[in-house]
Amino acid sequence: MSRKLLAVVGVALIVAGILALSSMFIVTQTEQALLLQFGRPVRVINQPGLEFKLPFVQNVVYFDKRLLDVEPSPEEVIAADQKRAIVDTYTRYLITNPLLFYQTVGSEDAVRERLAVLVSSSSRQVIGKAPLSALLSAERATIMHRIRDDVRTAAKPFGIEVVDTRIRRVDLPPQNSEAIYARMNSERQQQAALYRGEGAQAAQTVRANADREVTVILADAQRDAQKLRGDGDATATAIYAKAYGQDPGFYAFYRSLEAYRHALAGSNTTFVLSPQGDFFRYFSGWKGAAATEGPAAPAAAATPPGRQPIAVPPATVPTPSGR
C-alpha cells in the first residue's frame, strides 16, 4: 500500500512540475510578448520579467523590442527630368503596438515585405517630382525626409513606427552610364583636339617668327659682311695704289714674285714656256729687262736709290723628259 502511495505521489509531483513549467515564461529586456488563449489575444506584456499563463490553454508570441531594419533591393526610378536612376534605400522601424502588429501583419517577415512596397511607392512618387540633380545635391536630405514621413504615415496601421528612411546610393542604369561615359570621352577628345590645334598653331607661329628673325639676322649679317668686305677691299686697293704710286717698278716686281710663288708652288709643277716671254721678264733683272737685251743684265744698274741689289738667277724652266 505504501509503494502505491509513493508512486502516486511521484507521478503527481512530476505532473505538477510539468504544469508549473508550462505555466511560466520569461520576457527579456529586448522582447515584448503577446499572450494568446486559443488564438485570441489576452494580454500584452511590455515589461521584462517572469510571467505566468494557463498551461496548454494559453501560448506566448514574442516580438523584438529593438530597432529593426528593412533593406529592399535597389529599384529603378524616373526623376522629374525623365532621367532614370537606380536607388538603394533602407528603413529602420520599431514595433510599438504588438497587438495591432499581430492582428495586421503577424510577423516580422510579413512587415518587411509590406514596408518594402511602401518605400518603393513613396520613393517613386517623391523622386518623380524632383530632378535627378536633386538626388546628388543638398536637396537629397529633404527628399529622404519626405519619403520617411510618407512611409511613417502609411505604416502606422501596422503597429510600428518608422524611425528613418534613407537613400543609401544613387546610380545610373548600366546603359545610361555607358552612354554618359562615351559622351564624356568624346567631349574630352574634342577638347584635346582643340588644345592640340591651338598648340600646333602657336608652334607654327613661333617657327614662322623664328624663321623670319633668322632671315632678317642673316640678311643683316650678309649686308654688314658685304659692307665690311667692301671697306676692306677699298682699304686694300688704296694701300696697293699708294704702294704702287711710291715705287711702281718695285710693286710690279713684288707682284711677279707672288705670281711665281703661287704658280710654282707644287713639287711636280711643270711649265712649257719660252724664257723670253713676258712672264719671266724678271729672270733677266729685277727691272724686267727684255730677253733680247741679254740673259743677265747687271743687277746693280737696276737697283733704285737706297735699296740693295737683288740677285736673280737666269731663267731655268724644267721641261718634261723627251721634249
**Digit-coded pLDDT (tens) for 190-229:** 999 999 999 999 999 999 999 999 999 999 999 999 999 9
Q: Could you tell me if residue 254 is inside a domain?
A: yes
Host domain of residue 135: 68-172
- Bridge-based pairing of strands 68-70 and 49-52 is unpaired
Q: Could you tell me if residue 16 is inside a domain?
A: no
Q: Are residues 148 and 81 in the same domain?
A: yes
Domain tally for the chain?
Answer: 4
Compute CA 141 distance to the chain's CA centroid, rounded to the nearest angstrom.
33
Q: Could you tell me if residue 137 is inside a domain?
A: yes
**pLDDT tops 80 at residue 46:** yes
Q: Are residues 49 and 74 in the same domain?
A: no
Q: Are residues 53 and 85 in the same domain?
A: no
User: Of the residues 139, 172, 205, which one is the last residue of a structural domain?
Assistant: 172
Q: Are residues 77 and 153 in the same domain?
A: yes
| Rounded distance between C-alpha atoms, residue 110 and residue 94, angstroms | 14
Q: Could you tell me if residue 98 is inside a domain?
A: yes
| Rounded distance between C-alpha atoms, residue 162 and residue 96, angstroms | 10
Q: Are residues 168 and 216 in the same domain?
A: no
Segment 115-124 mean pLDDT: 92
Q: Are residues 85 and 166 in the same domain?
A: yes
Cβ proximity of 87 and 132 under 8 Å: no
Q: Could you tell me if residue 43 is inside a domain?
A: yes
Q: Are residues 103 and 131 in the same domain?
A: yes
Q: Could you tell me if residue 7 is inside a domain?
A: no
| Rounded distance between C-alpha atoms, residue 285 and residue 290, angstroms | 9
Q: Are residues 161 and 212 in the same domain?
A: no
Residue 288 pLDDT = 57
At residue 277 the predicted structure's pLDDT band, cuts being 50, 70 and 90, is low
Long-range contacts of 243-252 (CB under 8 A, 24+ apart): 247/304, 249/287, 249/304, 250/304, 250/307, 252/288
Between 314 and 35, residue with greater pLDDT = 35
Q: Are residues 74 and 163 in the same domain?
A: yes
Q: Could you tell me if residue 178 is inside a domain?
A: no
Q: Are residues 196 and 285 in the same domain?
A: no
The residues, ordered by sequence, that sit 6+ positions from 76 with a Cβ below 8 Å of its Cβ are 84, 85, 86, 87, 173
Name the nearest CA neighbour of 153 among 127, 174, 130, 122. 122
Lowest mean pLDDT among 137-151, 166-180, 225-239: 166-180
Provide the whole-model pTM. Answer: 0.53
At residue 289 the predicted structure's pLDDT band, cuts being 50, 70 and 90, is low
Instruction: Tell me the range of 219-223, 239-243, 248-252 where mean pLDDT is highest.
Output: 219-223
Residue 253 pLDDT = 77
Place of cell 724664257: 275
Q: Are residues 159 and 75 in the same domain?
A: yes
Q: Are residues 147 and 220 in the same domain?
A: no
C-alpha cell at 36: 494568446
Residue 163 pLDDT = 94
User: Of the residues 11, 33, 66, which one is the last residue of a structural domain?
Assistant: 66
Q: Could you tell me if residue 179 is inside a domain?
A: no
Residue 300 pLDDT = 36
